[in-house]
Structure 1
Amino acid sequence: MKIKLTLTLLLLASVTVVGQNGKKAIDELLDAWHLAASKADFDGYFSKMTDDGVFIGTDATENWQNQEFREFSKPYFDRGRAWSFTAVERNIYLNDTNDLAWFDELLDTQMELCRGSGILKKENGQWKIAHYVLSIAVPNENVAELIQIKKEKDSLIMLGLKRK
């Protein structure tokens, strides 16, 4: 009985350590990903995403599959500085098998405070960003004003989507 209890405790401890190590690795990966963009390191940036990765931007039309996002981003990287995002808060969650993770983060950006969220998966023992969503954080008291600002463009987008 003591051996069984000891083995169970060791297993639980090892799962906790693996989870914490996974969170640390993910935290470091996301920081390095953001840093690569600020340094215009195109290969460093895209090497941290899966080949089928998706980047959802702040504009309703920005749903970029990996290759499209590379093509869109290349001119920004070529000019020597893409964008600069620094995480000021981040929450990371892991599944039970430690091969899938999801996160949310608040970012200090050139657009002021933004929120990023996404999904990572392990590929060949390495964490990769499979899906990332960037959104501009809007205070609740400013939502009505924002709706008025974007109303015309949103109406056009909605018409196009309804025609599909």
Structure 2
Amino acid sequence: MSEIRYVRGDATAPQGKSVKLIAHVCNDLGGWGKGFVLAISRRWPESETAYRRWHRERAGNDFGLGAVQYVRVEPHVWVANMIGQHGIRTGSKGVPVRYEAIGTALGSLADKAVESGASVHMPRIGCGLAGGQWSRVEPLIAERLLSRGISVTVYDYDK
């Protein structure tokens, strides 16, 4: 089993020659306006448009915790909008991150990566505004992606 490759850089400018899946965590409220999604929107506004439509039409689709929406943004680049946080604020029920939902979404991501021969690129998903701990997310990545031979690069952005 390979290891996660950690690099300094921007996950919206993924490195490598293969098909690339850029994974990030979204909330289940339809909100898109803070954190890594802003970088995605600046580069590929169609990702935000697709997410908002997916949420708006949720009565007739799979939108919800653990679901993933794939948006093709370049010929060899896809953005994976993964629903892995419930709400947007830390409150009496704790932080918004939902590890089980992230695990489910990563399973779907793994299937897509294998099917398309893609590598996976991401920031430290679920650990920014969602309030998660990398020590809990990293094992999910190992279990769902690395165990299937999928190359994973995690980007730490220098502001």
Fold agreement, TM-score > 0.5: no
Higher RCO by CA contacts (8 Å cutoff, separation 6 or greater): 2
- Pair member with larger Rg: 1
| TM-score bracket, shorter-length normalisation | under 0.3
Q: Return the TM-score normalized by structure 2.
A: 0.27
TM-score (norm 1): 0.26
